Structure 1
């Protein structure tokens, strides 16, 4: 049995909030790229916390020189700002400003985390080609956990997967210039 719950909304206030959040992510991406370049960081080496969106550190090869303001954290295997130094504190301030927005954390009428027997789980969301925003949980949750049913409606998994498949196909066709 699949332990998953999906809700859908077409509520304009939620869709508007989602579009605003997507713009914030696009703006963040530009700031993030520029911030990393200004610090001399290879974008592919940045490690972020998937829960908070904060940058944890930068991958580092042991034996390579450690740049000013950084320290090597053996436990994490990453370069991190050396907070005991002025240069490290400046780095930390820049990195804190590069925190990734988490759009699904701000969905009106939908909690963003849920406590299960296995720990905390987070909702994911996706705007589909049918004009609806879908919120997917990797577990079963009920409306009693804070879902506003005046905004969101439960969706059968078969409906959700059909919408997802159609959206994926439309996206793939768009990437291929409409050719299959």
Structure 2
């Protein structure tokens, strides 16, 4: 069964600023991560980055079969398969390494912080995060679920909340799409923009 795709578009300054900050944070993290790898004694491999629901974290360091396991590290295994090196927190050296890694947090995916857009929504298969593309000076977000509650740009629904506590009102708002910031766009428009961008990139590569 083909899932229904829903597309939203925004050129709101706060949304564009969120993406600009994300790109700057990633660039800075890449520089910091390269320096940290050198400090940890790795000059020819990279970090393994875990991700889920818009969040990312350093899960370990790449491992090559046959290499000795450095002091303070252990093999990270899953279902009997080696996935990399991870700090051995049972040792003093491992705890020191873990603290260094914790001080170099990976920037969250931008979907986790988009103004007026939920970071995730429940589905039959669990929580899902939206897809995201920057195209033609705008930010596009897509969902592969049937419906997303929306807050109209005008109207009393925008001020409704789940209870008297402001905390509940905040939760209610962040789980809806704010149509004062985002606009629902036809899939034909979304795919036409994707195609135009892909063609432009292909032309640049020739």
> TM range, normalised to the smaller chain?
0.7 to 0.9
Aligned pairs (5 A) from 1:1-180: 1-41=2-42, 44-51=45-52, 52-75=55-78, 77=82, 78-101=84-107, 102-129=109-136, 131-144=137-150, 145-174=175-204, 176=205, 180=206
Kindly tell me: are residues 3 and 40 of structure 1, through their superposed partners in 2, closer, same or farther at Cα, counting changes over 3 Å? Answer: farther
- How well do the aligned residues superpose, as a CA RMSD in angstroms? 2.1
State the alpha-carbon separation in 1 of the partners of residues 65 and 5 from structure 2: 42
Larger Rg: 2
State the alpha-carbon separation in 2 of the partners of residues 89 and 124 from structure 1: 36
Q: Structure 2: give runs of 5+ residues left out of the alignment.
A: 151-174
Structure 1 residue 155: Cα displacement:
1.5
State the alpha-carbon separation in 2 of the partners of residues 137 and 35 from structure 1: 36
- Deviation per CA, 1:98-139: give whole Å up to 9, x if none: 33212221100001111111011112322212x111012233
Kindly tell me: are residues 44 and 159 of structure 1, through their superposed partners in 2, closer, same or farther at Cα, counting changes over 3 Å? Answer: farther
Structure 1 residue 81: Cα displacement:
0.2
Deviates more, 1:72-81 or 1:151-160: 72-81
Q: Structure 1: give runs of 5+ residues left out of the alignment.
A: none
State the alpha-carbon separation in 1 of the partners of residues 64 and 188 from structure 2: 46
State the alpha-carbon separation in 2 of the partners of residues 64 and 142 from structure 1: 49
Kindly tell me: are residues 141 and 25 of structure 1, through their superposed partners in 2, closer, same or farther at Cα, counting changes over 3 Å? Answer: farther
Bigger strand fraction: 2
Q: Is the 8 A contact 2:8 2:182 kept in 1?
A: yes
Deviates more, 1:62-71 or 1:137-146: 137-146
Q: TM-score, normalised by structure 1?
A: 0.85
